[in-house]
Each structure stands twice: as C-alpha cells, then as structure tokens.
A = this chain, B = another copy of it.
C-alpha cells in the first residue's frame, strides 16, 4: 500500500505545491481523496488514470474539487470504459450535475455518485468511513481502513494436526475439517490476525473531538495544518500546526503528515514548529510517497 501526495497546498497553489489531492494505491487500484485543480497533470507517470476506481471529495470549495472534470475527461481520452465511483458530502449530486453541464462533456464511461453522511462504505479489501469535520461548508474527513487479514499458515502446526498441502485450500474454504474425528479449524493452523492499516485524512477543519476519536491509533494521520501562527488564521476554519500535533498526540497516532500548507510558510518553518509538539511528524510535499 502506498500513499502519494499529489497536492499539498492550501487555497493558493505555489510553485512547489498544487491544490489538495491524495492518492492511495492499494491492491492494484487507486483511490483519490480530493481532486484539486491540476491533479491530472500531477499524476503524469505516477498514477494510472485508468486504475482510479473511487474518488472521495471532502467538500466543494474550489481548491478541493476543480481538478475533477479535467481528470474525468482525460480518462475518456485514455479510452476508459469502466465506471467510476465518486463519493461526496451532502449536496454533491447537485453540484456535480452543474459541473458536468459547464461545457461539452462527453465521458466514455459511467459516473456513479453517492452522497455520504457519517457512514462506512465497505469495499472488497477495505472500508472508507466518512465523518463530519468543522469547516465553513459541509465537509467530510475520511478514515481508510484496510481489512484485517488472517494470520499466516503455520505449516508445522498444520502438519502436526494432520493437515497437509492439498488440504490447505479446503480448510480455507470450509473453515474447519474433521481429521480422525477431531475438528481442526483455520484458527488452529494460522498465526495472529494481521491488523489492517488505518489512514485518516482530516480534510479542511478546525480541531474537533470527532477527528481525534477517528484518528485514534492511526498508522498515518494526514491533517490540515494551514497555519504556523494562530494570528494568521483570522476567520478561516483551519488548524494550526500546533493543533494538528495536539490532536495527533491525543489520538496516539503512529505518524503525522501535515498538509494544506499556506503559501506564507516554508516547509522548514512548518517542520520546526511541528517538531516542538510531536515526534513522528513530516510535512507533506507534492510527489511524496509513503509505503505502508
């Protein structure tokens, strides 16, 4: 599994940072979170347009969705036929209907749109949970959770219990097999369950209790950290670096990635501030990749 940062800017893009877009590459597909303007260009030679299966939009401020339509049209130029799924906050179906009627849009595949409240969407190998965060407009944070996987086969233990190679598949299918009158279960011959990875993306928000709860124990917590200095915030609803770190600490996350960085600050300035408040913290940069 890999996280690819394709845009890490706040509302104004800079030379180094494009508007928000994050891709997760998992089991051969890409899942996008937000689609800032220019994301299709950021993806060149990094993300296969055709392998993007789901797009989650956090909210309908321009910096978070204005790269969507160009991306979808480019998929058509790449002769996509497979449907794509788009998940949005409430109101998204009406917004996207207008967006798709803003010019001559002829897509070569179906677009399935679903508005999300606070809920969990289950896919084959993972879940995505949406939850409300605190921004000026309806805005969702997302929790991506890989499904737990059963432990590895313990061949020695299996053989001792009378399970040999050709029976592994059968045991996996049935869950248990009778061997000489004794029931052997899958659990008897596998190691500890392998816990799925958990990634939490705050999107744009002030600090919230819910975000801390959702981020609890996350392997990666990607958090809005627009401001270094509280006095720069004015009436915008975004976190400071210190607030992002404070939530990360409280949620006991393994690693914190700061994103949505205002054009006011250098990465160094953000990092110096962050390291005062949390140990395992990095400033997300465009094209940064994190293997999990």
**Chain A: residues with CB nearer than 8 A to chain B?**
11-15, 18-19, 37-38, 40-41, 44-45, 59-63, 65-67, 69-70, 73-74, 77, 95-96, 98-99, 101-105, 136-137
Contacts and interface: CB of A to CB of B under 8 A. Distances in A.
A95 B62 CA distance: 17
Given A99-B98, A99-B102, A99-B103, A11 B77 contact: yes
B62 A66 contact: no
A65 B66 CA distance: 11
A203 B251 CA distance: 54
Given A38-B38, A66-B66, A96-B102, 20 more contacts: A11-B77, A12-B77, A13-B40, A15-B44, A18-B41, A37-B37, A37-B41, A37-B70, A38-B41, A59-B104, A61-B104, A62-B69, A62-B73, A66-B70, A95-B103, A98-B102, A99-B99, A99-B103, A104-B136, A104-B137
Contact of A102 (B12, B59, B95): B95
B18 A65 contact: no
A70 B74 CA distance: 19
A236 B13 CA distance: 33
B74 A12 contact: yes
A73 B63 CA distance: 9
6 contacts: A37-B66, A38-B41, A60-B102, A63-B73, A98-B98, A99-B99
7 A-B pairs with the lowest CB-CB distances in the bound complex, closest first: A60-B103, A99-B102, A38-B38, A98-B98, A98-B101, A13-B41, A37-B70
Nearest to A45: B15
Given A38-B38, A40-B37, A65 B103 contact: yes
Contacts of A98: 98-99, 101-102
A45 to B, nearest CB: 8
Contacts of A96: 102
A14 B44 contact: yes
Contacts of A61: 103-104
Contact of A103 (B11, B41, B62, B77): B62
A40 B15 CA distance: 11
